[in-house]
Chain A
Amino acid sequence: MVKVASNKTKMREQPPEERIRNFEEVPYGYSMEEAVAEANRCIQCKKPSCVQGCPVEINIPEFIRLIKEGDLRNSIRVLKETNVLPAVCGRVCPQEEQCEKYCILAKKMEPVAIGRLERFAADWEAQQGDAEIPRMKKPTGKRVAVVGTGPAGITVAGDLIQLGIEVTMYEALHEAGGVLVYGIPEFRLPKRIVAREIAHVCRMGVKLIKNVVIGTSLTVDDLLKEYDAVFIGSGAGLPWFMEIPGENLNNIYSANEYLTRANLMKAYRFPEYDTPIAHGKVVTTIGGGNVAMDSARTALRLGAKRSIVIYRRSRNEMPARDEEIHHAEEEGIVFHFLTNPVAYHGDALGMVQEVECLRMELGEPDSSGRRRPIPIEGSNFRIPVDVVVVSIGNSPNPLIPNTTPGLETGKWGNIIIDEETGRTSKKGVFAGGDVASGAATVISAMGAGKKAAKSILQYLRDGKW
């Protein structure tokens, strides 16, 4: 057997001191040579364990083999058989917990850089111009409405249109793409990539109607009068606050607001763009997930001298992707672990000035399996701040459930579905992605979209519920 290099082929990146001053993407991606070198590390297992770690079961060894052979056209075809958004997933999937975690090499050395290779193949395709339009089935005369244009909605729309079903996507905002456009920053996922994917489904014939809020502009029942089925992929867009004193002071944002202003509204280009955002010298982000990392890193790029992350557990429990934590550390983000805010203090104009925190220690594991943080009595201390970004989680927006009789929801306002089929409690209505699972991942939203598309097709054929 040939000897396999023990480390992943490095991906060139913008140096930290440079990139914190711009919104350009951080990694440059592999060159052809680098990609082939990395592809050569894959030993082409007969029973590839990586695939079981992939929520959509991409034929990983096959797409990597095709890269090795320089047959990128077919490599991207293999990827797209099961993953309609490889350029997105290659950049944002938590590979270390999925495919790469299960890669056989990971037992002895670094796993194959599956995510980087996926990104490479997808970026190659983008350079070739518009993506291929797949073979489309004959029109069936059936019509489906998709609510929301995040990864779940895009997947359902893309799958159904190919099956000869007329699809209309409805989006509340003025741009399609869901969290991929309003949440995840440009430096991690360039917006042109998302725009290209949206354009692709539209070229296949999907109709996109923006600026329509389902639940108010039109209800789900209105849609059911016009369409044979409805898919709800409206995400988990409702931001949580901690409900502690002073939280409504000015310059305390939810991560959703902070990132929406920066990304979707392009506040980083104010005053060329009209939407403002607070530029603080010291910005403090509360939380430890991807959303928190994105907020803290955005703050640096908006000119913060010091960007602090406050997290109530320790580094080991942080739910963010490894790469994000690594990049954040390289960029000089300051972490206060085992720390939790208890109050905010402001000035006479109502601007936040200080965050008051408690130190924590870790106790027994809780229901999430992570050790529970316990406050240390009397350990209060204050950090001076100009801007705070609260990034402690999101749940589904109640707008649709509240206006849709017969649609059952769970404890967190999530729409209850049958996991295998995406069926809700209401006939003809399917759901999937974050609106059903609660805030999760791009790939799980796509996986849910795939399942729903299949069962929507079944339902359109036999009308059985």
Chain B
Amino acid sequence: MIQIVDRSMLVPNIHLLTLEAPLVASKIQPGHFVIIKANEKGERIPLTVADWNREKGTVSCAFMQVGRSTRKLAALKMGDEVETFVGPLGKAIDINRFGTVACVGGCYGIGSIYPVARAIKSAGNRVVSLIEARSRFLLYWEEKIRQVSDALIVSTSDGSKGEKGHNSDRLREMLGEGQSIDLVVAIGCTFMMYAVSEATRSFGVKTIVSLNPIMVDGTGMCGACRVEVGGKTKFACVDGPDFDGHEVDWGLVLARRKAYIRHETVSEEAS
């Protein structure tokens, strides 16, 4: 059993859980994910890590409450336990000297992009972070991210804070103005990652996205997480979850996310 040592609601619907998991904490790298299962009857769901503390042996995940499993997690209190917390899983993001890197986050990905920006920054790169939310009350961790970035650009759909629009709009403007960006890394909702990839495509700027398909084991054993990248089938949990956004078959990613739409309704009604 894994204990929750801290929990908070970051903004409405997005929560941060900190768990005591020394083994995971000792190995985790930016881009890795974990699988968490709340209790005996729970589902195994993947979450990216938002932060960790190797000394204290803790790992934090930011997640958005979207359905039954994430609601179960959101209902957990400090001192409660989860049955399963396994990781690190997937491949870590390749951290190198790239030059200027745009670290892009939205919804839960604002949390997940933080350790990526931190690592890329400390490897000696110039980091421009871009985060977005529907409205300003849904933004979080601005200060945290600012501290590991050379610049932070905030967008909101309703224009209540920062620029109006989306991360993808900002990238299109920046690249259109001739700003040099050597790499883009985007984490968050599928549609945001898709939009970002489309924005950078014509500029030929390499764009890494962290795909979030439905998973079961997270170790390459089931194939639930199949995605197509560059025309080839990949298992996102072991071959990814990070892929070149320009090569991803986004239609398939979106369709496969909806495989259990009917069940999800039943599940919501049952709980």
Contact = CB atoms under 8 A, between A and B. Distances in A.
Interface in B132-190: none
A271 B266 contact: yes
A237 B220 CA distance: 8
Interface string B221-232: 111101110000
Interface in B188-246: 216-217, 219-224, 226-228, 233, 238
Given A250-B259, A265-B43, A274-B69, A216 B27 contact: yes
Interface stretch (B12-20, B80-88, B100-108): B80-88
B66 interface: no
- Give chain B's interface residue range (CB within 8 Å of chain A): 35 or more
A273 B69 CA distance: 11
Interface string A392-422: 0000011100000000000000000000000
A211 B220 contact: no
B220 A174 contact: no
Contacts, number: 119
B270 to A, nearest CB: 4
A260 B217 CA distance: 9
B54 to A, nearest CB: 14
Contacts of A172: 86, 217, 219
Interface stretch (A251-259, A304-312, A353-361, A447-455): A251-259
Nearest to B88: A216
Given A213-B89, A272-B41, A397 B219 contact: yes
Contacts of B87: 213, 216-217
Main secondary structure of the interface of A (DSSP, over half): loop
B68 interface: yes
Given A218-B23, A270-B267, A350-B255, A247 B233 contact: yes
Question: Which has the most chain A C-beta neighbours within 10 Å: B41, B221, B256, B258?
Answer: B221
A260 to B, nearest CB: 6
Given A212-B86, A213-B89, A247-B233, A278 B259 contact: yes
Contacts of B263: 270-271, 276
B44 interface: yes
A145 to B, nearest CB: 14
B24 interface: yes
A212 B267 CA distance: 29
B89 A216 contact: yes
B126 interface: no
A349 interface: yes
B190 to A, nearest CB: 14
A243 interface: yes
B123 interface: no
Contact of B222 (A248, A256, A270): A256
Contacts of B11: none
A274 B267 contact: yes
Contact of B256 (A173, A241, A248): A248
Contacts of A276: 260, 263-264, 266-267
Contact of A212 (B23, B220, B224): B23
Contacts of A173: 217
Contacts of A211: 84-86
Contact of A256 (B42, B221, B258): B221
B171 to A, nearest CB: 28
B252 interface: yes
A239 interface: yes
A321 interface: no
Nearest to A259: B222
A238 interface: yes
Contacts of B267: 270-271, 274, 276
Given A239-B221, A260-B217, A274-B42, A248 B84 contact: no
A399 B219 contact: yes
A352 to B, nearest CB: 10
A46 to B, nearest CB: 47
A271 B268 CA distance: 9
**Lowest 5 CB-CB distances: which A-B pairs, in order?**
A350-B255, A276-B263, A257-B222, A271-B270, A274-B43
8 contacts: A172-B217, A250-B258, A256-B223, A260-B216, A271-B266, A276-B267, A397-B219, A398-B238
Given A272-B270, A276-B260, 7 more contacts: A174-B83, A211-B86, A218-B23, A243-B233, A251-B259, A265-B216, A397-B221
